[in-house]
A = this chain, B = another copy of it.
Amino acid sequence: MNELGTYIKEKRIEKGLSIRRLAELADISHTEVKRIEDGLRKQTSPQVLRSIAYALSVPYEDLMAAAGYIDEPATELDSGTIAAGIKDTEDLSQEEIDQVNQYIAFLKSQRKN
């Protein structure tokens, strides 16, 4: 269910690395790698993500996106349909659009699960 964990695990296995080997390359503990893969971490620090990205030879931005810290990297920009009910967006500036997107991300981050 956890996007970040499944993504890392998939890439790790794809490269034929064990949890311990990946941890060694990233210079973090192997237990931490496992916890992240298992989705036991609610907050994985960007520092750790950077290390793992380097060890996996995978774009750092991809991990940041999988962790929900930044928006998906460029490729699919026209991702989704706008939810019905959001209006008056026609004359928004680019900066304002960014702020609206940030706000949406903020709302989702505030959801109680």
B97 touches A53 (CB 8 A): no
B80 touches A87 (CB 8 A): yes
A105 touches B83 (CB 8 A): no
Contact pick for A103, options B76, B80, B91, B103, CB 8 Å: B103
Q: Give A71-113 as 1s and 0s: 1 = Cβ < 8 Å from B's Cβ atoms.
A: 1001011111111111111111011111111111111111000
Contacting residues, chain B, for A109 (C-beta < 8 A): 47, 50-51
- Beyond contacts A85-B97, A100-B107: 19 other A-B pairs, Cβ-Cβ < 8 A, are A59-B99, A61-B70, A64-B69, A69-B69, A71-B88, A78-B84, A79-B87, A79-B88, A79-B97, A82-B83, A82-B91, A83-B89, A83-B90, A83-B97, A86-B86, A86-B89, A89-B104, A92-B104, A103-B103
- 22 CB contacts below 8 A, A to B, read A50-B106, A50-B109, A61-B98, A71-B87, A71-B88, A74-B77, A77-B77, A78-B84, A79-B97, A80-B87, A80-B88, A81-B90, A82-B86, A82-B97, A83-B92, A85-B92, A85-B94, A86-B101, A87-B101, A88-B104, A88-B105, A100-B107
